[in-house]
């Protein structure tokens, strides 16, 4: 063994030491088990109550988590209101007059801080857990949410405009957008399946129902009755026939050329994602399994951990 061996061990030890210092603190599902065991049950009942009052809220809360994660990671930057120092992401194209559920997040935060006796649960973790609890409340699968995210002290409307995928994107642009966030084509199709619940505004699907050809004509006509060529921008249409139920109808709709948004229908339009859409349309278990994996993957995007960021006292403003 001699000096060679001991040098080798010293090297290995040094490399390991480097690795452990360089790695960010990992998220883990047991983060609150000791510091506040009531945290997760509290989030769950507030979400269930909100969804009972308005079924659509489940989709809105899921979307908040998605729109948060796609802008500099899952750090609750989407929740910060405009101020002299914050250019709020709430005013970004994808969020203005459209992102909703902020009051529910405020209510969860108030209840959780009360249950824990102090503000230990971050707004970023609240968004991740509320997204999961919303899916469950609408009949979808459950999963274990890794925890320990901390909240950002900044927001970026510009980054939100650049990073949140637009409903007008074609398939190659969607694939690139997701790839830039470390997500692959399967993640794109599975996460687009979040549109199995919820509604969209007329302004986001008007071009599709009046100008596109890969659309079922009766479906287009039916939508036109509530989404005129001009005006009615905020009129709502369901993203699939059962907007308050987590099922596979979103995918069957795409197969039948009844995708509501352009970015929905491009997933089934003779491209690389057709096979996956078809298989999800026939198999709820396969879709649910992939959806869960992709949600966890998305929730792990660039979190602030350890000493980075903060745990906000009020989700709408920096401490």
Do residues 191 and 294 touch, judged by C-beta distance below 8 A? yes
The binding site for Ca(2+) consists of: 68, 71, 73, 75, 77, 89, 240, 247
Which amino acids are annotated as binding site for heme b, given as ranges?
195
Q: pLDDT grade, residue 211 (50/70/90)? A: very high
pLDDT at position 10, please? 47
pTM for this predicted structure: 0.91
pLDDT band, residue 3 (cuts 50/70/90): low
pLDDT at 258: 98
pLDDT digits (tens, 9 = 90+) for 274-311: 999 999 999 999 999 999 999 999 999 999 999 999 99
Residue numbers belonging to the annotated binding site for substrate = 165
Q: Does the annotation mark 67 as catalytic? A: yes
Q: Is the pLDDT of residue 18 over 60?
A: no
CATH topology of domain 171-295: Peroxidase; domain 2 (1.10.420)
Instruction: Label each residue of the chain as H, E or C.
Output: CHHHHHHHHHHHHHHHHHHHHHCCCCCECCCCCCCCCCHHHHHHHHHHHHHHHCCHHHHHHHHHHHHHHCCCCCCCHHHCCCCCCCCCHHHCCCCCCCCCCHHHHHHHHHHHHHHHCCCCCCHHHHHHHHHHHHHHHCCCCCCCCCECCEECCCCCHHHHHHHCCCCCCCHHHHHHHHHHCCCCHHHHHHHHHHHHCCEEEHHHHHHHHHHCCCCCHHHHHHHHCCCCCCCCCCCEEECCCCCCCCCCHHHHHHHCCCCCCHHHHHHHCCCCCHHHHHHHHHCHHHHHHHHHHHHHHHHCCCCECCCCCECCCECCECC
Locate 299 and state its tokens.
């929730």
Residue bearing tokens 């349309």? 281
Region 123-146: mean pLDDT is 98
Contact 128, 108 (CB under 8 A): no
pLDDT digits (tens, 9 = 90+) for 159-196: 999 999 999 999 999 999 999 999 999 999 999 999 99
Q: How many CB atoms lie within 10 A of CB 271?
A: 16
The one catalytic residue among 65, 67, 181, 262: 67
Specify whether domain 38-164 bears CATH 1.10.10.1200: no
Residues placed in the known binding site: 68, 71, 73, 75, 77, 89, 165, 195, 240, 247
- What is the 3 state secondary structure string of 177-235? HHHHCCCCHHHHHHHHHHHHCCEEEHHHHHHHHHHCCCCCHHHHHHHHCCCCCCCCCCC
- List the domain boundaries for the chain: 38-164, 171-295
pLDDT digits (tens, 9 = 90+) for 88-116: 999 999 999 999 999 999 999 999 999 99
The residue behind tokens 């009755």 is 225
């Amino acid at each position: 063994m001699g000096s060679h061996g001991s040098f080798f061990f010293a090297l290995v030890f040094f490399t390991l030491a480097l690795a452990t210092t360089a790695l960010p603190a990992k998220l883990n599902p047991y983060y609150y088990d000791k510091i506040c065991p009531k945290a997760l049950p509290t989030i769950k009942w507030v979400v269930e109550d909100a969804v009972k009052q308005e079924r659509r809220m489940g989709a809105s809360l899921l979307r908040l988590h998605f729109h948060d994660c796609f802008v500099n990671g899952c750090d609750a930057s989407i929740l910060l209101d405009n101020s002299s120092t914050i250019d709020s992401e709430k005013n970004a194209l994808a969020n203005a007059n459209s992102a909703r559920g902020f009051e529910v997040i405020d209510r969860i935060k108030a209840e959780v801080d009360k249950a824990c006796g102090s503000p230990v649960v971050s707004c970023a973790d609240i968004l991740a857990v509320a997204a999961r609890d919303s899916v469950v409340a609408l009949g979808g699968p459950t999963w274990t949410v890794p925890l320990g995210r901390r909240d950002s002290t900044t927001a970026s409307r510009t980054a939100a405009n650049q990073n949140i995928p637009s409903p007008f994107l074609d398939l190659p642009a969607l694939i690139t957008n997701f790839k830039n966030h470390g997500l692959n084509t399967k993640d794109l199709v599975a996460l687009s399946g979040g549109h199995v619940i919820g509604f969209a505004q007329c302004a986001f699907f008007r071009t599709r129902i009046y100008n596109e050809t890969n659309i079922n004509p009766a479906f287009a006509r039916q939508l036109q009755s509530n989404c005129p060529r001009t005006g009615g921008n905020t009129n709502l249409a369901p993203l699939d026939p059962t907007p308050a139920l987590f099922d596979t109808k979103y995918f069957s709709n795409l197969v039948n050329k009844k995708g509501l948004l352009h970015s929905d229908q491009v997933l089934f339009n003779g491209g690389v994602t057709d096979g996956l859409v078809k298989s999800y349309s026939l198999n709820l278990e396969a879709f649910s399994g992939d959806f869960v994996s992709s949600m966890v993957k998305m929730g792990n995007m660039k979190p602030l951990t350890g000493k980075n960021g903060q745990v906000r006292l009020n989700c709408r403003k920096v401490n």
